[in-house]
A = this chain, B = another copy of it.
Amino acid sequence: MKKLLTLLSLSTLLFAFRADKPKKIIFFGDSITQAGVSPTGYITKLAGMLDKSKYELVGKGIGGNKVYDLYLRMDEDVLAQKPDAVVIWVGVNDVWHKASSGTGTDPDKFEKFYQAIINKLKAQNIKVALTTPASIGERPDNTNQQDGDLNRYSQIIRNLAAKNNLPVVDLRKAFMEYNLKNNPKNEEKGILTTDRVHLNDTGNQFVAEQMAKVIEQL
């Protein structure tokens, strides 16, 4: 009986302890996420919106990364860190590098590697949220060179989210809607980005707010 009580206490203690331990969420991505941990970055801003006792946000972004680069380094950079959840944000370089260096990613392979990442995370019971690639040029009239491809790869990601029953932060859609309202001069940068791709201060705040919506689902 005493033994049972002790076990119960211990168990309560453990649960209490686990409740106190913040959820570790890794943001896994490219240069946008690499910059996200700077003092004004979207991850830093998002952390400021959340209860620190409940969430520990970790940035694992590396410049130039495509989906297969995430797959290659996920054992060390993600699985070994024992996160509770992972937010994947990738796709800009997979599309962009087609034109800038001839080294983008074919859509079928983009999907295949993305699914392989999801599988590895799920196998470890890690929760996953997906993100669509926001922007390579902000002109809301659909005249940015990579608009068609970004829309396509975003659709692949939305389909993966549906298929795997995962939440998606639809930055592509959110950026388009924001620019339709706030970019009357059809500028290609300077609204949410500094250079068509990377976030300015408004962009970091905007992304943090979009991300906040799915954090509680993780």
Contacts and interface: CB of A to CB of B under 8 A. Distances in A.
Contact of A102 (B104, B137, B143): B104
Contacts of A101: 98-100, 106
A72 B69 contact: no
Given A99-B98, A100-B101, A145 B148 contact: yes
Contacts of A142: 142, 147-148, 151
Interface string A103-119: 11110010011001000
A71 interface: yes
* Interface size, A (range): 20 to 34
A102 B69 CA distance: 17
Nearest to A146: B148
A55 B31 CA distance: 48
Nearest to A153: B143
A69 B147 contact: no
Interface in A54-91: 68-69, 71-72
Contacts of A103: 98, 102-106, 109
Interface in A144-188: 144-152, 155
Given A72-B116, A98-B102, 7 more contacts: A68-B71, A98-B99, A99-B101, A99-B102, A101-B106, A141-B155, A146-B148
